[in-house]
């Protein structure tokens, strides 16, 4: 196998590991939150990350066994259409004083998603095939949707969260 394909495989392994980390993180968040809408949202995000993992694994196996990407399967955009809605229920703000975990999940989730976006964009820049570039850019776009949803929710909650907890932002 040439050095280009070895580098692609290395990148795919890194991406699969990141998707599994995201899956575990969101699954843990779903198991730990008391908010029903948050639980539903985090479970959906965990499923999306697992879908990304499976798709990347398909590409990994195809490159390893056939020497190229498998573009016969394509992940669906359907699951990613939910990113525009709120993450938590309307009642969540009433419990905001005790919601340190959930606020932390938003912040950590944003960091995970930013890292994934940067990584997938880097893979797209390095890709030789146009379809491979499109694949990585699509993954980056989906992760951007996750990031944007977290950022909107955190922006919506942070002033009230700071107020009820007597925090003074620096």
Encode 12-40: b = buried (16+ Cβ within 10 Å), e = exposed. beebbebbeebbebbbebbeebebebbbb
Domain at 3-75+92-164, CATH from 1.10.4080.10, 3.30.420.40, 2.60.40.1080, 1.20.1260.10: 1.20.1260.10
Which of 72, 61, 70, 53 is CA-nearest to residue 9?
A: 61
d(CA 23, CA 26): 5
Question: pTM, whole model, 2 decimals?
Answer: 0.86
Any residues with CB less than 8 A from the CB of 7 and at least 6 apart, and which? Answer: 126
Q: What pLDDT score was predicted for residue 97?
A: 87
Q: What pLDDT score was predicted for residue 169?
A: 64
Q: What pLDDT score was predicted for residue 129?
A: 86
Q: What pLDDT score was predicted for residue 82?
A: 55
Q: What pLDDT score was predicted for residue 63?
A: 92
Give residue-wise pLDDT tens across range 116-132.
Answer: 999 999 999 998 889 88
Give residue-wise pLDDT tens across range 27-75.
Answer: 999 999 999 999 999 999 999 999 999 999 999 999 999 988 888 876 6
d(CA 162, CA 10): 42
Instruction: Give yes or no for a contact between 113 and 146, defined as CB atoms under 8 angstroms apart.
Output: yes
| DSSP designation for 91 | G
Give residue-wise pLDDT tens across range 79-105.
Answer: 555 556 789 998 898 888 889 999 999
In a 10 Å sphere around its CB, with 0-12 CB exposed, 13-18 middle and 19+ buried, how is residue 83 labelled? buried
Residue 168 has pLDDT above 80, yes or no: no
Q: What pLDDT score was predicted for residue 1?
A: 78
Q: What is the mean pLDDT of residues 159-165?
A: 89
Q: What pLDDT score was predicted for residue 124?
A: 94
d(CA 51, CA 122): 21
Q: What pLDDT score was predicted for residue 117?
A: 96
């Amino acid at each position: 196998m040439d050095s280009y394909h070895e580098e692609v495989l290395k990148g795919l392994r890194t991406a699969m590991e990141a998707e599994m980390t995201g899956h575990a993180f969101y699954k843990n968040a779903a198991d730990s939150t008391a908010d029903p809408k948050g639980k539903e949202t985090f479970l959906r995000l965990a499923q999306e990350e697992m879908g990304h993992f499976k798709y990347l694994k398909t590409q990994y196996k195809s490159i390893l066994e056939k020497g190229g990407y498998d573009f016969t399967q394509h992940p669906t955009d359907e699951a990613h259409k939910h990113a525009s809605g709120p993450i938590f229920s309307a009642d969540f703000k009433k419990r905001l004083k005790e919601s340190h975990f959930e606020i932390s999940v938003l912040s950590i989730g944003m960091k995970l998603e930013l890292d994934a976006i940067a990584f997938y964009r880097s893979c797209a820049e390095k890709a030789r095939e146009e379809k491979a570039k499109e694949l990585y850019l699509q993954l980056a776009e989906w992760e951007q949707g996750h990031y944007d949803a977290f950022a909107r929710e955190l922006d919506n909650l942070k002033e009230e969260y700071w107020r009820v907890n007597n925090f003074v932002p620096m």
